[in-house]
Amino acid sequence: MTEAIAVKDLFFTYPDGLDALCGANMAIQTGETVALIGPNGAGKSTLLYHLNGLLHSHSGEVRIMGQAVHHKNLKTIRRYIGMVFQNPDDQLFCPTVFDDVAFGPLNLGMKNDEVSCAVTQALDAVDMKDYEKRSSHHLSLGEKRRVAIATVLAMSPSVLILDEPSANLDPDGKWKLVKLLRSLRQTKLIVTHDFDIVHALCTRVIIMDAGRMVASGETREILDNKALLATHRLAIPEDELCNLNT
């Protein structure tokens, strides 16, 4: 099976001296839906920025659909990979929903009729086809999330990366999002602290801590290992949990 995402021995240090990635390794196969979890400061965001070329490593390699990520081929890489940020307002800045979803295809050089077709298909995929003339800023958070996903789908990516997709959604909005993501056939990497989302969508979980991957396994295997989760600040340690219950 083809590796949709391959990260090998990735190191990165910020100008202030912070070592954010310390030999990160990760492989995600085409068609997988994988959760990346870890405590704050683990290096998850820094890793994501390397996957679409927003940051470049001092040492190591990143490949997307077999293509190495480097300055010369970023346009190609960004057609393969679609990133949905935690805050949809970071992606929605045009006067109408249509304009927001059309922005990417237009920048890829598509013709007007191709852009219209791409927008229609993307909005239909996220069940927002009647919202083309609406302002994104007047939508609910759940609706904004759907439009943000549509802005990525309009460019026909092979891989979707979603950063905290369920953040601040109410239960109804969260499960509508689950249903939507289940319907999408792309390879998906989901960065989240929401274990409900992990259980509902992901077949595999990777734990990241201190700039490297420290565990990987089937979802139930990882999430049932309370000691492992507590070690990496992802669950309350058993002794603390006992104290809370007394």
**pLDDT tens digits for range 95-146:** 999 999 999 999 888 999 999 999 999 999 999 999 999 999 999 999 999 9
The phi-psi region of residue 23 (left if phi > 0; otherwise alpha if psi is between -120 and 50; otherwise beta) is left
pLDDT at 244: 44
3-12 tens-digit pLDDT: 999 999 999 9
pLDDT at 239: 55
Q: How far is CA 17 from CA 20, 21, 129, in A?
A: 9, 12, 47
> What's the rounded Cα separation, in Å, for the pair 33 and 182?
9
Q: 214: domain CATH number?
A: 3.40.50.300
Count of domains observed in the chain: 1
Mean pLDDT of the chain: 93
Residue of 28, 30, 29, 73 whose CA lies nearest to 53: 73
pLDDT grade for 163, boundaries at 50, 70 and 90: very high
pTM: 0.93
pLDDT grade for 71, boundaries at 50, 70 and 90: confident
Q: Domain span at residue 221? A: 3-244
213-235 tens-digit pLDDT: 999 999 999 999 999 999 999 98
